[in-house]
Amino acid sequence: MTSFLKTPSLMAPFFIDKLCVVIPMKSPKRSKQRLVGSLSDTARESLSLTLFENTLAFFQRHFPMLDVLVVSESLDVLALAQTYEANTLFDDGENGLNGALDFACDWVKKTGYDSMLIVPSDIAMLDPAEFVALMSAANDASVVIAVAKDGGTNALLTSPPDAIQFEYGCDSASAHQANALNNRLACRSLHLRNLALDIDQGDDLNVAVTRQPERFKAWRDTGSSLMKKTLIKERHYA
């Protein structure tokens, strides 16, 4: 099956062949541990869920022709994903992120997809044009990496899904590139402004506030009464 890509704001003249978007998501109670000291426990959990729901809404609105798979240890997270018509896969989390992605990759392959796009659930600002660029790069590369600001991997497109071993962690973009080269696969690394920014630490939140203060300032100002209002508004962001 081949899907022609269209978005409300963009017309992308290329084809996506059997691509599945995979979004891994921890239990919100265990998410954003590096924001301890910057946000309260309640705010960290709420921020995690809000960013996750924003990601689901983004793909539903801008790329409705793409199937989405959410893999998580949280039944609540999986239930939320199903309200956005996403496929869901329970993973107990014992083998960490790479283990969960191996499990998801196996499902993607068995279901018949030719390509897999891994997208984290905590990108601050999602831009359809950047995803068009990412998927366009797959026309001449088996592995496409959106490099995070700290050298990590903030999106990874692999064709076939198991083209390389997943090595998320410190400096994972270089590790994924090396794995592609070792497997003699064409690889492209992209530095995309918005996809480079996930919210892991207080400094990330400060950058997000600078770029979109109307969305993120209340998260940083945890004592503000605006926080509760933002929780409601953010859930409807697409």
* Residue 129: burial class (beta carbons within 10 Å; 0-12, 13-18, 19+): middle
The reported pLDDT for the residue numbered 38 is: 52
> Both ends of the chain: CA-CA distance in Å?
27
pLDDT exceeds cutoff 50 at 57? yes
Mean pLDDT of the region 109-122: 94
Q: What is the mean pLDDT of the chain?
A: 79
User: Three-state secondary structure along the chain?
Assistant: CEEEEECCCCEEEEEEECEEEEEEECCHHHCCHHHECCECHHHHHHHHHHHHHHHHHHHHHHCCCCEEEEEECCHHHHHHHHHCCCEEEECCCCCHHHHHHHHHHHHHHHHCCCEEEECCCCECCCCHHHHHHHHHHCCCCCEEEEECCCCCEEEEEECCCCCCCCCCCCCHHHHHHHHHHHCCCCEEEECCCCCCCECCCHHHHHHHHHHCHHHHHHHHCCCCCHHHHHHHHHCCCC
| Cα→Cα distances 109→144, 155, 162, Å | 18, 19, 8
- Name residue 185's amino acid: L
pLDDT exceeds cutoff 90 at 34? no
Give 126-158 pLDDT, tens digit per residue.
899 999 999 999 999 999 999 988 899 999 999
The reported pLDDT for the residue numbered 16 is: 61
In angstroms, the CA 25 to CA 100 distance is 10
CB count within 10 Å of CB 215 equals 18
Residue 166 and residue 120 in contact, taking contact as beta carbons nearer than 8 Å: no
In angstroms, the CA 37 to CA 102 distance is 32
pLDDT tier at 37 (50, 70, 90 boundaries)?
A: low
pLDDT exceeds cutoff 90 at 228? no
